Amino acid sequence: MQTPPTVLILPGWQNSGPDHWQSRWEALHGYVRVQQHDWMQPLRGDWMAQLEEAVLAAPGSVVLAAHSLGCMLTAAWASHSRNTHRVIGALLVAPGDPEREELRAALKSWSPVPRQALPFNSILLGSHNDPYCSFERARQFAGAWGSEFVDYGHSGHINAESGLGDWSEGVQLLNPLMMKKENT
């Protein structure tokens, strides 16, 4: 019998609080949060190393559930890692854009944003009124990364403030990614 994939939770800058869907999924489903050394002053290389360690520690295949800067982490890690074959899918929710003028100073090490296609299946959700990434920019990231794009309406940053609760709709989007597909 094959081991089910490990779902790694990739929070964004400043981590995800207790009411965030990522924290709720961790508690409800036993998904594994990738811990970072510094949530407040994120360094891309350090975050990539932590993700690499988590992927290597997983007993089998991996699915990523990323939010905000966690989406940028996914793209950066995938552009450098030799272990991307361990990942079978990624749910990329509300990417935070580190190249936005108001975020550049705080997220210096996160530019430029990698634009290579991800070597695994992915779905990216963008919101029309996300304060950290324009809808068009989210669509551009999805195109560059080869992700299926989902218009998630006017849902803000698709976080705790969006009132998602346990976000069963997100789980429904994640589930198909947990099935290994050939020719990704």
147-177 per-position pLDDT tens digit: 999 999 999 999 999 999 999 999 999 999 9
φ and ψ at 62, to 5 degrees? -130, 145
Tell me how far apart the alpha carbons of residues 63 and 86 are, in angstroms, rounded to a whole number: 9
Query: 120-148: per-residue pLDDT in tens?
Result: 999 999 999 999 999 999 999 999 999 99
8 Å CB contact between 30 and 85: no
Read off the pLDDT of residues 6-43 as tens digits, 9 standing for 90 and up. 999 999 999 999 999 999 999 999 999 999 999 999 99
Q: Give 1's pLDDT tier (boundaries 50, 70, 90).
A: low
Average pLDDT score over residue span 103-119 = 96
Q: How far apart are CA 7 and CA 65, in angstroms?
A: 7
Start-to-end Cα distance in the chain: 23
- pLDDT of amino acid 15: 98
**Residue 102 vs residues 95, 126, 131, 167: alpha-carbon distances, Å:** 15, 19, 11, 29
C-alpha 172 chain-centroid distance: 16
Sheet order of strands, 32-33 included: 32-33, 6-10, 62-67, 87-93, 121-126, 148-151
Residue 2 binned pLDDT confidence (cut-offs 50, 70, 90): confident
Task: Indicate if the pLDDT at residue 105 is higher than 80.
Answer: yes
Mean pLDDT, the chain, rounded, equals 96
For 58-79, the DSSP string reads SSS-EEEEEETHHHHHHHHHHT
| Whole-angstrom distance, CA of residue 163 vs CA of residue 157 | 11
Q: Residue 184 — pLDDT band, cuts 50, 70, 90?
A: very low
In angstroms, the CA 171 to CA 167 distance is: 7
35-87: per-residue pLDDT in tens?
999 999 999 999 999 999 999 999 999 999 999 999 999 999 999 999 999 99
**Residue 3 pLDDT class (50, 70, 90 cuts):** confident
Query: Are the CB atoms for 87 and 176 separated by under 8 Å?
Result: no
* CA dist., res. 118 & res. 63, Å (int): 13
- pTM score, two decimals? 0.96
